């Protein structure tokens, strides 16, 4: 198992390297960094992240079982603060400042959601004869805390992140031994809730949400961004244009190219071959997580592995699909590659927990 | 578990297929597009919503502005020369503008803007390559002086506000900076659009790639009456100050005037005028009704009187004798006349200081503070205009903490006639007056009643639990101040509007005193609240004169619904 741990660390280090390479490309002009701040900040985030991994590695992961409730309520309170502050300022608000550090509670919510779902899925509930009660025990009970997080983020409004939580719950539900019958009922309920949710919104809220489905509407809207990002990716062809040679990105064609659209930078400069390598790294990382899940002895670490896997997979899949124009543009970063303090640190915490689980696998 | 593995494999396959399609199958096509990237964007700004008054007269609209834009290309100098020839301007200036407005190579930069159609037509005929003319809306206030504070103005999104782009604002978009334009910016702004198209090497449009039609913002209907607003400014004349006319039951504001004013259109367009206005010593930019804090003077007696009655420190018939002053140890606090025996109604009608000195001593600072705060002083009125100040109501502990000094009995005397540390804004006084007019409700003043089709419900009306009989006693005093020969505001009686009100002369050390008048009418069934505040007017008599002038003008033109 030691081999697997080292392998995991190598994969993450590779992703860090890809991230810094792409960030440098995204931020340079003629080979020189134009926005040094962002670049150095990301380096600091990565270093901080690894220190977090180190700390978590030496603490038994079971501590998160007890911590999860605290983290959940703190997260919920922070989210409500953001919502209220946002209301006061008459605009959408995602960031919050504590001791001069700005961070996004909606990112923290992803971690809180995984941990609280894991806690709920680990508890053994006696099977019930009544169909309704069984459904309640297996699905509604663990879903309730997620739903509150969902609501708090949804009203910010941050449609992308709030939907992630729903997807996350669905994937974990699939893998954690709920009865097929219950899963199908739940999926049906979610399907029915979509039009209902839309009707409940007021006109101006819909308007606002539509803006937030396309957060990159500057300077001219998501549709335009997608055309440009397709050109950038496509023009990379098989071997790419080479490091610092991506013309599309350099010409400011793509907004948010150091965060949500960082994949376009990578794909333009390293081509299909580079993308294959990146996807292989992602694939291997996900494979190790699932393999470990098979080997663990207790249910809690199994569910944790599934949670980490699900969140990582959702971010990889939705981010790249939206950049390729296969999904609508929602503001969602790419796993370990996008710039962003809160998101990077949350990912490192999850990796720390995962390495810790691996430690106990014989 | 196997299900999740399948999902993973499917997900990765989809991504791989997508990449394969774009990078391998379509790679040459896209690569060609990228190398000859002749894709251009022309942003189209959305017009902001219009602003109307209560009779649906247009207050703020959008005019058309023509912008000459140049694409980034190699022979820019030639282009500038040919444009300069037609428009008869300096080509260096055009180049300067180009550099300043350049955002990205695929977005044309503005080099010249005008509202003159003829100039642009001449340019358009010549069809110079790499040049395009964009029509954009330009904000225009129909009544630039009357609305400079209320409607406010917009400005381009500046570098400091660039963070707003995260919230859906686009680069170079107009954004509200003050007044209703700021408070209701979210509704007023539309959704910008634009076109994306391909051009050939000569700058001719060959292929339209996409278009997004801009959507206009929502129209806003205010409670203002632009004619009354005009009369208010006319009445204020050369005085610095404020005039507020408000419906007493609903809080709808018909007029909220701040003098001096400025031309808000020139302010946003003309740099010279902008600088001049910014540096003007009369501070025309200050929205006095809500951003200026003044001592309240004798108008505060209505609060003290009510506190006295409600705390049972005095009764209806309690009397104090005024011999022209009040001796407190070694100091003599003056009254402005010798009034003799006065009860609460007389004292309000004649604005007798001695009566309130006695009452203030009985009440003490805590009671006076509590009633002032209860009736909305020292707090924001939450009127829907930005940058409101909240004034100040002192307490004895505040004085000890910040001024390191005891609260003396003499402070009570000053406090009881609205002098000393107390400061208020005129709009707070309007809210305070609404309490007496409605006999118990604090009514929130507001300006916007409808946004497009969205009717905004009436704002909150806070019921304050105070014995109505006590309020009626105060009101009686206010009526006497106008109705009786000796009343301080008797000159208003000939308007035949049944006004009840209180005057105030607020002393300011080293300057001329401020003049106040706050009242409501008609007395029996109050409909309107009027507050007039004049800076450095020497006495409250001037405030009464201005009130008279204003109400006379408004009444003559039948602008009130009585």
Using CB atoms within 10 Å of the CB of residue B213, give its burial: 0 to 12 exposed, 13 to 18 middle, 19+ buried.
Answer: exposed
Q: What's the average model confidence in pLDDT over B390-401?
A: 93
Q: Which of A87, A178, A235 is best to mutate for the B interface (most B CBs within 10 A)?
A: A235
Q: pLDDT grade, residue A207 (50/70/90)?
A: low
Is there a domain that residue B174 lies in? yes
Would you say residue A225 has pLDDT above 80?
no
- Which residues form the domain of B24? 2-35
Backbone angles phi, psi at A32, to 5 degrees: -115, 140
ipTM value for the complex = 0.88
Contact B19 A218 (CB under 8 A): no
Distance CA A67, CA A64 (A): 5
Q: How confident is the model at residue A212 (pLDDT cuts 50, 70, 90)?
A: very low
Predicted pLDDT at B26: 87
pLDDT band at A220 (very low <50, low <70, confident <90, very high): very low
Q: Where are the beta strands (DSSP E) in A100-175?
A: 101-103
Could you count the other beta carbons within 10 Å of the beta carbon of residue B504? 29
Question: B-chain residues within 8 Å CB-CB of A220?
Answer: 41, 43, 170, 192-194, 196, 212
Mean pLDDT, range B363-389, rounded to an integer: 94
Chain B partners of A174 at a C-beta cutoff of 8 Å?
A: 3-4, 7
User: Is some CB atom of chain B closer than 8 A to the CB atom of A238?
Assistant: yes
Do B326 and B388 belong to one domain? yes
Instruction: Report yes or no: A64 at the B interface, CB cutoff 8 Å.
Output: no
Q: What is the mean pLDDT of residues B358-374?
A: 94
- Determine, for residues B8 and A218 on separate chains, whether the beta-carbon distance falls below 8 Å: no
Mean pLDDT over the full length of chain B: 88
Flag if A320 and B15 touch (Cβ within 8 Å).
yes
Interface test with A, best of B34, B163, B384 (most A CBs within 10 A): B34
Q: Which of A204, A217, A286 sits opposite B8 (nearest CB)?
A: A286
Q: Residue B187: which CATH number?
A: 3.90.1310.10
Same structural domain, B43 and B31:
no
pLDDT over 70 at A222, yes or no: no
How many separate domains does chain B show?
Answer: 3
Beta carbons of B64 and B135 less than 8 angstroms apart? yes
Q: Is A136 on the interface with B (CB under 8 A)?
A: no
> What CATH number does the domain containing B393 carry?
3.40.710.10
Looking at the fold, whether B213 and B230 belong to one and the same domain comes out as no
The whole-angstrom separation of Cα B532 and Cα B235 is 10
pLDDT higher than threshold 60 for residue B400: yes
Residue A260 tokens, joined = 């949500």
Same domain, B385 and B460: yes
Q: Are B377 and B358 part of one and the same domain?
A: yes
**Chain A partners within 8 Å of B166 (Cβ):** 215
| Mutate which: A174, A228, A234, A303, vs B, most B CBs within 10 A | A234
8 A C-beta contact, residue B491 and residue B485: no
Interchain pair B18, A221: CB under 8 A = no
Closest Cα in chain A, distance from residue B200 (Å): 18
Residues B190, B20: contact at Cβ < 8 Å?
no
Polymer length in residues for chain A: 362
Residues 1-30, chain B, touching A (beta carbon < 8 A): 1, 3-5, 7-8, 11-12, 14-16, 18-20, 22-24, 26-30
Residues A232 and A249: their CA atoms lie apart, in Å, by: 7
Restricting to B residues 189-228, those with a Cβ less than 8 Å away from any Cβ of A are 191-194, 196, 209-210, 212
Question: Which among A137-141, B39-43, B531-535 has the top mean pLDDT?
Answer: B531-535
Q: What is the pLDDT of residues A17-55, one digit of tens each?
A: 999 999 988 887 666 777 788 899 999 999 999 999 999
**Is the domain of B31 the same as that of B43?**
no
Query: What is each CA distance from B18 to A120, A192, A234, B11, in whole angstroms?
Result: 37, 30, 10, 11
Element (H, E) at A68: helix A63-88
Tell me: do B271 and B379 sit in the same domain.
yes
Tell me the helices (H) and strands (E) count for chain A, helix number first: 14, 4
Of B233, B234, B231, B236, nearest to B542 by C-alpha is: B236
pLDDT for A168 equals 93
Edge-to-edge strands, sheet with B39-44? B39-44, B193-199, B205-212
Whether B407 and B471 map to the same domain: the answer is yes
Calpha distance A26→A250 (Å, rounded): 7
pLDDT number for residue A251: 52
**pLDDT at residue B160 in the model:** 60
| A272 CB within 8 Å of a chain B CB | yes
Q: By C-alpha distance, which of B370, B351, B383, B388 is closest to B517?
A: B351
Both ends of chain B: CA-CA distance in Å?
A: 78
Q: How far is A55 from chain B (nearest CA, A)?
A: 30
**B195 & B233 share domain:** no
Q: Which two tokens stand for residue B548?
A: 């008279």
The reply to whether B41 touches chain A by the CB within 8 Å rule is: yes
- Give A91's pLDDT tier (boundaries 50, 70, 90): very low
- The DSSP-derived string for B159-170 is GGGGGGGGGT--
What pLDDT is stored for residue B88 in this prediction?
83
Nearest CA distance, B98 vs chain A (angstrom): 17
Q: What is the per-residue DSSP string for B210-246?
A: EEE--B----EEES--HHHHHHHHHHHTT--EEEEEE
* Residues B377 and B244 placed together within one structural domain of the fold: yes
* Choice between A156 and B155, residue whose per-residue pLDDT is larger: B155
A201-209: average pLDDT: 55
The DSSP H or E segment spanning B15 is helix B2-19
Any A CB within 8 A of B107 CB: yes
Q: Mark whether B6 and B67 lie in a shared domain.
A: no
Half-sphere exposure of A227 (CA within 13 A, CB side): 18
Is B282 part of a structural domain of the chain? no
Q: Within this chain, do residues B109 and B66 fall inside the same structural domain, yes or no?
A: yes
* Residue in chain B nearest A172 by alpha carbon: B4
Tell me how far apart the alpha carbons of residues B117 and B114 are, in angstroms, rounded to a whole number: 8
pLDDT digits (tens, 9 = 90+) for A150-178: 988 887 767 778 889 999 999 999 888 77
- CA distances to B244, B377, B461, B536 from B390, rounded to whole Å, are 17, 8, 19, 21
Phi, psi (deg, nearest 5) at residue A49: -60, -45
DSSP state of B297: G
Whether A322 has its CB under 8 Å from any CB of chain B: the answer is no
- Token readout for B268 is 């946003």
Question: For B98, phi and psi rounded to 5 degrees?
Answer: -60, -45
- pLDDT greater at residue A324 or residue A95: A324
Q: State the smallest CA–CA distance between residue B20 and chain A in angstroms.
A: 7
Closest CA to B378 of B399, B361, B394, B356: B394
Tell me what percent of the residues of chain B surpass a pLDDT of 90. Answer: 62
- Token pair for residue B320? 């104090």
Higher-confidence residue: A103 or A168? A168
Residue A90, pLDDT > 50, answer no
Helix (H, G, I), strand (E, B) or coil at A208: helix
Smallest CA–CA distance, residue B416 to chain A, in Å, is 36
Residue of B nearest to A213 (CA): B168
Gap from B43 CA to chain A (nearest CA, Å): 7
Q: Is A217 on the interface with B (CB under 8 A)?
A: yes
In this prediction the pTM is 0.62
Q: Whose CA is closest to B190, among B173, B172, B166?
A: B173
B359 pLDDT more than 90: yes
Cα separation of B111 and B93, whole Å? Answer: 8
Assess whether pLDDT exceeds 90 at residue A249.
no
| Mean pLDDT of the B408-436 span | 94
Query: Helix, strand, or coil here: A98?
Result: strand
């Amino acid at each position: 198992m030691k081999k697997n741990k080292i392998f995991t660390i190598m994969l993450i280090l590779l992703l860090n390297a890809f991230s810094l390479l792409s960030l440098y490309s995204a931020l340079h002009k003629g080979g020189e960094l134009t926005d040094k701040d962002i670049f150095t900040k990301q380096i600091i985030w990565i270093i901080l992240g690894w220190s977090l991994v180190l700390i978590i590695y030496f603490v038994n992961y079971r501590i998160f079982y007890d911590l999860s409730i605290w983290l959940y309520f703190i997260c919920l309170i922070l989210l409500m603060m953001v919502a209220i502050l946002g209301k006061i300022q008459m605009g959408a608000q995602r960031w919050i400042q504590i001791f001069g550090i700005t961070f996004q509670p909606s990112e923290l919510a992803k971690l809180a959601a995984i941990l609280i779902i894991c806690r709920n899925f680990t508890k053994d509930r006696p099977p019930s004869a009544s169909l309704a009660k069984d459904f309640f025990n297996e699905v509604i009970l663990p879903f309730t805390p997620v739903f509150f997080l969902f609501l708090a983020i949804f009203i910010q409004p941050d449609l992308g992140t709030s939907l992630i939580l729903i997807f996350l719950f669905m994937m974990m539900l699939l893998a954690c031994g709920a009865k097929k019958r219950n899963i199908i009922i739940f999926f049906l309920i979610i399907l029915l809730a979509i039009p209902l949710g839309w009707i409940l919104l007021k006109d101006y809220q819909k308007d606002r949400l539509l803006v937030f489905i396309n957060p990159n509407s500057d300077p001219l809207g998501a549709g335009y961004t997608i055309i440009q990002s397709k050109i950038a990716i496509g023009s990379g062809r098989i071997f790419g244009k080479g490091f610092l040679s991506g013309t599309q990105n350099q010409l400011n064609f793509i907004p948010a190219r150091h965060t949500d659209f960082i994949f376009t930078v990578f794909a333009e400069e390293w081509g299909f071959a580079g993308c294959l390598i990146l996807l292989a790294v992602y694939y291997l990382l996900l494979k190790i997580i699932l393999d470990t899940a098979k080997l663990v002895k207790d249910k809690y670490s199994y569910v944790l592995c599934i949670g980490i896997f699900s969140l990582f997979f959702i971010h990889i899949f939705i981010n790249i699909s939206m950049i390729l124009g296969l999904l609508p543009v929602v503001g969602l970063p790419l796993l370990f590659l996008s710039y962003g303090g809160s998101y990077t640190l949350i990912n490192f915490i999850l990796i720390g927990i995962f390495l810790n689980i691996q430690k106990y696998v014989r | 578990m196997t299900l999740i593995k399948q999902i993973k494999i499917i997900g990765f396959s989809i991504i791989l297929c997508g990449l394969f399609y774009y990078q391998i199958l379509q790679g040459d096509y896209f690569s060609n597009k990228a190398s000859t990237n002749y894709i251009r964007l022309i942003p189209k700004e959305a017009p902001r919503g219009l602003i109307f008054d209560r009779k649906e007269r247009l207050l703020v609209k959008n005019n058309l502005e023509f912008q000459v834009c140049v694409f980034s290309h190699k022979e820019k100098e030639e282009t500038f020369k040919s444009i300069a020839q037609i428009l008869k301007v300096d080509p260096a200036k055009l180049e300067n503008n180009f550099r300043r407005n350049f955002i990205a190579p695929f977005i044309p930069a503005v080099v010249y803007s005008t509202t003159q159609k003829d100039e642009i037509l001449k340019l358009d005929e010549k069809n110079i390559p790499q040049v395009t003319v964009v029509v954009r809306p330009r904000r225009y206030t129909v009544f630039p002086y009357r609305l400079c504070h209320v409607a406010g103005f917009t400005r381009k999104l500046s570098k400091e506000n660039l963070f707003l782009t995260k919230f859906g604002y686009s680069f170079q978009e107009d954004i509200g900076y003050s007044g209703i334009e700021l408070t209701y910016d979210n509704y007023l702004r539309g959704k910008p659009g634009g076109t994306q198209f391909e051009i050939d090497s000569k700058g001719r449009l060959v292929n339209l790639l996409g278009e997004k039609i801009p959507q206009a913002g929502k129209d806003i209907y205010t409670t203002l009456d632009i004619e009354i607003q005009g009369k208010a400014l006319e009445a204020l004349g050369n005085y610095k100050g404020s005039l507020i006319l408000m419906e007493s039951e609903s809080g709808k504001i018909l007029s909220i005037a701040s003098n001096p004013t400025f031309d808000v259109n020139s302010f946003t367009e003309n740099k010279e005028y902008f600088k001049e206005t910014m540096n003007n010593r009369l501070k025309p930019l200050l929205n006095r009704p809500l951003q200026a804090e003044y001592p309240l003077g004798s108008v505060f007696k209505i609060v003290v009187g009510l506190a006295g009655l409600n705390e049972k420190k005095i009764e209806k018939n309690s009397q104090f004798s005024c011999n022209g002053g009040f001796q407190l140890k070694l100091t003599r606090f003056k009254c402005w006349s010798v009034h003799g025996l006065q009860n609460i109604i007389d004292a309000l009608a004649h604005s007798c200081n001695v009566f309130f000195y006695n009452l203030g001593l009985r009440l003490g600072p805590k009671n006076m503070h509590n009633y002032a705060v209860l009736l909305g002083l020292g707090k924001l009125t939450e009127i829907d205009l930005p940058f409101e100040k909240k004034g100040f109501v002192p307490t004895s502990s505040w004085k000890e903490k910040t001024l390191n000094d005891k609260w003396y009995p003499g402070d009570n005397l000053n406090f009881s006639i609205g002098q000393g540390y107390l400061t208020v804004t005129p709009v707070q006084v309007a809210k305070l007056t609404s309490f007496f007019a409605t006999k118990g409700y604090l009514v929130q003043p507001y300006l916007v009643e409808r946004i497009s089709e969205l009717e905004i419900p009436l704002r909150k009306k806070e019921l304050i639990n105070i014995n109505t009989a006590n309020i009626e006693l105060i009101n009686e005093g206010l009526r006497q101040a106008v109705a009786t020969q000796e009343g301080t505001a008797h000159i208003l009686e000939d308007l035949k509007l049944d006004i009840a009100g209180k005057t105030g002369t607020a002393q300011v050390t080293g300057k001329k005193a401020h003049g106040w008048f706050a009242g409501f009418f008609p007395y029996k069934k109050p409909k309107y609240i009027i507050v007039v505040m004049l800076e450095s007017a020497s006495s409250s008599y001037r405030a009464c004169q201005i009130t008279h002038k204003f109400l006379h003008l408004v009444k003559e033109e039948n602008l009130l619904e009585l």
